[in-house]
Copies of this chain bind each other. A is one copy, B any other.
């Protein structure tokens, strides 16, 4: 009865669960939407419903897909013999914005963590190893965040891939210590990709 109706309160509570929006900014966002109910709120509701209904995880690489496999895995031009391993779909998007990488991806969905019980299976590492032979991969570029967890996971992946004989490289120059890919400018990512170094030996 007090201020916003319960239907609006429910909406504010849902909006407040978005990253970067607290309770106050969620209220402002909802008010902004209500003022534009025809031009923004209804189209946003529709777009959210459609994406929710039509997205899934690509069964090959873990990217977001609108079918069983994603656009990148279905695109023959991306069969370059290279796979880029990223932690998260947001990192894949950052790599694609950079535009320097033309191969395919493996999205881990996290990093190894004993604490959170995230092991190689949870990250699809056996599936990645299988792809190297199946798809005739020559090089796996491990593009993980320059954090302790990222680098631990990168070394684990390099060891898991060693028996396949594939070249395993990592992004080098340009990624600052502790930096996260998604916050880097596109030029930095391109430079780091060009200067990639071997993780072996």
Q: A7 and B64 in contact (CB under 8 A), knowing A27-B93, A31-B90, A42-B52?
A: no
Other-chain contact of A52, B1, B41, B75, B88 (Cβ < 8 Å):
B41
State how many copies of this chain the complex holds.
2
Contact B31 A41, beta carbon cutoff 8 Å: no
Residue-wise interface mask of A (32-62) relative to B, using a CB-CB cutoff of 8 A (1 in contact, 0 not): 1110011011111111111111110000000
- Measured CB to CB, the residues of A under 8 A from B are 1-5, 7-8, 10-11, 14-15, 17-21, 25, 27-34, 37-38, 40-55, 64, 66, 71, 75, 88-90, 92-93, 96-97, 99, 182
Main secondary structure of the interface of A (DSSP, over half): helix
A selection of 5 A-B contacts at a CB cut-off of 8 Å is A3-B93, A4-B64, A5-B66, A7-B50, A34-B64
Residues of B within 8 A of A53 (CB): 42
